[in-house]
Amino acid sequence: MMNNSRFSPLTADLCLLGVTAIWGATFVTVKNALPYIPTFSFLAVRFLIAAVCLAAIYPSRVKALNRRTLRAGILIGVFLFAGYGFQTFGLVYTTASNAGFITGLSVVIVPMIMTVITRQMPAWPTTLGVISATTGLGLLSLGDTWQINVGDGLVLLCAFGFALHIVTVGRYAPNLDTVALAVVQIATVAVLSGLCATFFETWPERIAQNVWMAWLITAIPATSLAFLIQNTMQKFTTATRTAIVFSMEPVFSAIFAYYLAGEVLTMRSLVGCGLILLGMVLAEAKLPPLNKLLSSSTSSWLTAKNQHSDQYSK
């Protein structure tokens, strides 16, 4: 198990970036599997395998599960499922590009929620990072035209779901057992996905080989490991920085799609990727508060002006 006392914010963000890379890498695998199995059925099995594997590796941590961890894990799991659920229903009525951009708006929603909770505005480099990442998401995800429809509203609810998932992990993970919290959260998504699959979907007569492969790839590294790392590492960074790091997911998705599926990366996409990366760098920047920076700049300008005036008078 990871030693929770030795991680700097930068290390935590790099670990979360690794999680984002894993998620981005699975897009091609999931895309190839979904034609052969309904979405909620796929999610139910994916999260069930993930919960069972994690519980089997850490049985003592699960046995020590208390009521507080159970409540927090269920709440976090509900928000995570809301993200997946509203995204799935929204895709019925909107385009994948619209859904990709609107889902990424969680990078804006998280600091808005944190501002309400903490009554403090985020640092100015973080704000610039959010703006840069959002602009990059737009370039990467949206086409030349964008028509708003009911699906976009559903996907916006998805973005709020993912944003609240990040915020609640940041709220509860520092004070609870991260393994038990991850197991409950993952199991909650499995149960809710299973219920939706039962009522809205039909189980296929035969499971294709690439579906089994997708389950293994997404269940263990992209779910068990990924959410355990998030629960552990988000203690050492902020929810807003986590959201900015997670905005790199479509960047990794585009890169892996280019190498694994031969998809084309346009100049517009590359600029979008660059702006998202810039947003992450800005969020990591250790810069003084804006008022001090402006005060220092003004002071330097006045000093230079006075020196110039003195030289002129002589």
The span from the CA of 72 to the CA of 185, in Å, is 8
Q: What is the pLDDT along the chain (314 residues), one digit of tens a residue?
A: 455 557 888 899 999 999 988 888 887 788 788 889 998 999 999 999 999 999 999 999 998 899 999 999 999 999 999 998 888 888 778 766 666 677 777 878 888 888 888 777 777 677 787 788 778 777 766 666 656 677 778 888 988 999 999 999 999 999 999 999 999 999 999 999 999 999 999 999 899 998 999 999 999 999 999 999 999 999 898 888 888 888 888 778 777 777 776 766 678 778 877 877 777 677 666 655 544 544 544 445 445 545 555 555 55
Number of structural domains (the chain) is 1
CB 24 within 8 A of CB 248: yes
Provide the total of helices (H) and of strands (E) in the chain, helices listed first. 15, 0
Alpha helices in 119-266 (DSSP H): 124-141, 150-172, 178-200, 209-219, 226-233, 239-246, 249-261
Q: Is residue 41 part of a domain?
A: yes
Q: Is residue 276 part of a domain?
A: yes
Q: Is residue 255 part of a domain?
A: yes
Q: Is residue 4 part of a domain?
A: no
Domain that holds residue 62: 9-313
Q: Is residue 192 part of a domain?
A: yes
